[in-house]
Amino acid sequence: MAEELHFRSAEVKKRHPWGVWGLSLVTLGVYGLVWWYKINRELRDYSAAAGAPLDNNPARSVLAFLPGAFIIVPPFVSLWRTCERIERVRATVDGRPPQSIASTGLLAMLLYIVAALHPVLLGYAMNDLWDAARQKAGEDNLPQLVTVPAA
């Protein structure tokens, strides 16, 4: 089950990475596309709430995988740029300059080729990012964590 976090106007979820991979497998990739849209939207929304908006269109990121896969290159560009976005948001949370994403990006591309395991790697990276954001919430103009009552 996913844990929902609310930072001002940004709603994000911590999802189990192997669950994302398993659901993607069972749904023949449909859930993987939905997840890809959601993580790119969460990165965009959190960065905007933090005052450092990313130039990011989640729908375009998904299109790179669906019809773009026939051209071969777009999914790899989308993977690379999403890894870059994760690193930029992480740098916003940590207050340090962005690190090189070469190792994560290349590993994500390799895992995409081998059994589409990139959701596992990026899922753990996203969960670490949201854990760090929760710990740093409210510091140095970062969005406050808002408690929302359970429905």
Tens of pLDDT along 18-70? 999 999 889 988 998 999 999 999 999 988 888 888 888 899 988 888 876 67
C-alpha 58/C-alpha 43 separation (Å) is 9
Tell me, yes or no, whether 19 lies in a domain: yes
Domain residues for the domain of 141 are 3-146
Tell me, yes or no, whether 151 lies in a domain: no
Question: For the chain, what percentages of helix, strand and coil (3-state, to nearest 5) are there?
Answer: 65, 10, 25
Tell me, yes or no, whether 98 lies in a domain: yes
Phi first, then psi, for residue 114 (nearest 5°) are -95, 100
Tell me, yes or no, whether 121 lies in a domain: yes
pTM given for the model: 0.84
Give residue 40's pLDDT: 94
Tell me, yes or no, whether 71 lies in a domain: yes
Q: How many separate domains does the chain show?
A: 1
Task: List all residues 6 or more positions away from 90 whose beta carbon is below 8 Å from its beta carbon.
Answer: 98, 129, 132
If DSSP codes are grouped into helix, strand and coil, which group holds residue 111? helix
pLDDT for residue 90 is more than 90: no
C-alpha 133/C-alpha 7 separation (Å) is 9
Tell me, yes or no, whether 41 lies in a domain: yes
Q: How far is CA 122 from CA 31, 139, 140, 143, in A?
A: 15, 25, 26, 22
DSSP string, 7-69: ETTEEEEE--HHHHHHHHHHTTTHHHHHHHHHHHHHHHHHHHHTT------HHHHHHHHTGGG
Strand partners, 146: 6
- Band (149; pLDDT cuts 50, 70, 90): low
Tell me, yes or no, whether 21 lies in a domain: yes
